Chains A and B, each alone.
Chain A
């Protein structure tokens, strides 16, 4: 699976949009971009995923560049409860196994 790079940490003011970047320049055509987050001492939580089109759900928006080499997760109105480590993962769906490998992620701190 393709490797991703994310900034180690970011701050965001409460109520403002949090834009978390992810680079995945070696992504293959059949690999999806997934975002998860992990609030302290909890299991990871799925946020959103996409292949090439921009996606939006009740939690966030995912913007994928046209060349698919990078993406941005947008939390439109960050709250203190959004403070967490955010993981960007690219992977292909296989039939025999489908590991989810986590990188270091971005530690987002939402500041009052």
Chain B
């Protein structure tokens, strides 16, 4: 199946700094990618839909100015957590779709810890 790669797998940053997470589709083009956040012992929560060449669509309650999404090419979407705080510590996962009734492909996730 198709491969979605996230980088980094884990990151520790200081409070107030910004962190960028990359999501790449390695063997297919993804016009749409999705970003999820997962807190311990909870399910994945969709944050936003990233569309190549246009602005991302954010789910209700997700701060677009805090979670900056850029989808500059058909194989790369980035999520930047700006001015990170300890409550932003979470597991962030990206996903990409192939058009049609096909499965979604997920990255391996990025564990963000803000200290």
Listed in ascending order, the chain A residues whose CB lies under 8 Å from chain B are 32, 34, 36, 38, 41-46, 49, 51, 85, 87, 93, 95, 97-105
Contact = CB atoms under 8 A, between A and B. Distances in A.
B32 A49 contact: no
B46 interface: yes
B93 interface: yes
A32 B100 CA distance: 11
28 contacts: A32-B101, A36-B103, A36-B104, A36-B106, A41-B91, A41-B109, A43-B6, A43-B93, A43-B95, A43-B106, A43-B107, A43-B108, A43-B109, A44-B44, A44-B95, A45-B106, A46-B1, A49-B101, A93-B99, A93-B101, A97-B57, A98-B32, A98-B104, A100-B46, A100-B104, A101-B46, A102-B45, A103-B43
A65 to B, nearest CB: 19
Contacts, number: 59
A25 B32 CA distance: 29
Given A41-B109, A100-B34, A49 B103 contact: yes
B43 A104 contact: yes
Bin the interface of chain B by size.
20 to 34
A26 B13 CA distance: 44
B75 interface: no
Interface of B: 1, 4, 6, 32, 34, 36, 43-46, 49, 57, 91, 93, 95, 97, 99-101, 103-109, 111
Main secondary structure of the interface of A (DSSP, over half): loop
Contacts of B36: 102
